[in-house]
Every structure is written in structure tokens, then in C-alpha cells.
Amino acid sequence: MAVLGALPPGVRCRPIREADWQGVVDCLCRGFPKRDRSYWIQALTRLAQRPPVAEFPQYGLALEKADRIVGVVLTLYTRYPGQEGDEVRCNLSSWSVDAEFRPYGAKLVTTILKRRDVTYTNISPAPATLKANWALGFRPFTTGQFAFLPAFSSAQRSCRVLEARPDLAEMAMLSDSDRYILSEHSALGCRSLICICDGAAFPFVLMPRRILRGLIPSHQIVYCRSLADLSRCAGAIGRFLLRSGNLLCVVDAREPIGGLFGWYRANSGLKYFRGPRPPSLGDLSFTELVMFGP
């Protein structure tokens, strides 16, 4: 298990500053050699463009030795309004520590995890970090993924699907929070949709991506208010997606989803959380998947 006590002399853990970007990118490139520099520069740029959340770090934490960045963990904080008050979530991402300093790498994460009122998520844990995640109190909030063909679901004739945009009159049927999620994710390259069914509006955000080694085009569900909403509107969404030749969608799940035609893949795409409230299934909004890209 990594060292959780005091850091050795000359090593410190501190928030990442904009002036650190070059050192942070260098460290991330060492830890994730399959990613090029442009990926990490875009990630930091998008973090810089996000509104800060209270006193939380804008980018994450760095482990520093003699003015050199030797460890990094990025943080994506988002505030969500709720009926019982605001909820803050933090998606931990891109945990990278140089080999010499890995015994102290957990210090980056334990420093972040001190807040008990924040829900922390890890949606892409590397296999080598799973034991550390469990030791730090993370538990799965998904047990697999459900791949489905929405066009094969039944659709009510009264249901229609619209591409969300600021001047769309139907946007007024949604809450401020839902409108914000749709508009922000559109700017990040996602497909933001509104399904109008029986006089009610249901928001959805889909992220285009390719699966099975990039051979199959699909859409990842990154936001819906519930899987019941997804089942209700899947047929209409599927017919809408058919116009652009897209057949397949994927959503996080714990079991097969009623009303959807597809197959459940256990132990696929496991995602973890720690904190007072796990994210609902089908909600990956403002996580690394959409902020940084797959």
C-alpha cells in the first residue's frame, strides 16, 4: 500500500497552477505514453474554462520535488442544484506519479478526499489502481454496461425529438439545471436532445464514440434523468439517430434494462464512487469522458 503519512523533505503536495501546465503535461505524458501532448493541453484548457467551484482546486493537485512536477491527479468539480441543497461532485482523473515517487502517490488522492460532503468518482480506473481505490473507500456504482438498439424500442406517435439549442422554445420546458447541462455539453461536442412526450420534456446528452477498436460507431449516454426516461424515449431517439445512420447506444447499468432491445455486458466499464450519494446511472455529465474525450 502506498505511503499515507508525511512526505519526505523537499517533496510537497499542492494545487496545480496555470504556470505549472508544461510540467503537468510532461508528467502526464510520462504516465500515459499513448496520449499525446495535445490531448492533455486540451484537457487543461477545458478545465480552465470551467467556472470554479467554491474553494476547490481548478485543475487538481501536483506532487513537486525541487520545482519539478513528479506526480499529478486532475480534478473535475461540478456543483449540482438539488431539492435538498446543492451537491458537489468531483471526478478524479489521470492519476500519474513518476516511479521514484509512487510510494507517496496516494498522498495526492487522500488530500483531495478530506471533504465528506463531496461525492468523488473514478470512471476509468487503471487495473493497477483498483486495490488502492478500494483501500481509499471507493465502491462501484455500476456493474456493467447495456448496449442497445434504440430504434427497435416502441415509440409513441406523440413523441418527438429535437436538437437542443438556445433559441428552441421547448427549452423553456426544462429546469435551469437541465438547460445548462444541455448547452454546456453541446459546446463540448456532444449531442444534446429534448424528447417531447405527452406534453413533458425529457433531456438527454449523447456522446458520439466508436467501440470495438474503433470499428463500430455508437453513442454513449452521458446524461439522462433516469433509466426509466431513457426507456420511455428510446424509440423516438432511435428513429432520430437513424437519420444520421447511427444504430447503437451504450449506457451504464447494473442489469438488463426493461423496454430496451440489447444486451448487458457484466463487468464492463466499471465506475466507482466515494461519498454521500452515488451518481445516478446514465449520468456522466462533466466527467473526463466528455471534458477530455474518450
- What does the pLDDT profile of the chain (294 residues) look like in tens digits? 444 567 888 999 999 999 999 999 999 999 999 999 999 999 999 999 999 998 999 999 999 999 999 999 999 999 998 767 789 999 999 999 999 999 898 899 999 999 999 999 999 988 877 888 898 999 999 999 999 999 999 877 789 999 999 999 999 999 999 999 999 999 999 999 999 998 999 999 999 988 777 778 899 999 999 999 999 999 999 999 999 888 999 999 999 999 999 999 999 999 999 999 999 999 999 999 999 988
Residues 122 and 151 in one domain: no
Residues 148 and 170 in one domain: yes
Residues 109 and 225 in one domain: no
Residues 158 and 233 in one domain: yes
- The CATH number for 33's domain is 3.40.630.30
- The CATH number for 213's domain is 3.40.630
Contact 152, 281 (CB under 8 A): no
Residue at 285 is within a domain: no
Residue at 220 is within a domain: yes
pTM: 0.91
Residues 135 and 153 in one domain: no
What is 106-174 written as a DSSP string? Answer: HHHHHHHTT-TTEEEEESS--GGGHHHHHHTT-EES-SEEEEE-GGGS---TT-EEEE--TT-GGGGGS
Contact 184, 164 (CB under 8 A): no
Q: How many domains does the chain have?
A: 2
User: Which residue type, as a one-letter code, is found at position 108?
Assistant: L
Residues 57 and 74 in one domain: yes
| DSSP type of residue 283 | B
In terms of residue numbers, what domain contains 128? Answer: 11-140
Residues 244 and 197 in one domain: yes
Residue at 116 is within a domain: yes
Residues 121 and 156 in one domain: no
Cell reading at 223: 446524461
Residue at 205 is within a domain: yes
**Residue in this structure with the C-alpha cell 499529478, named with its chain if needed:** 72
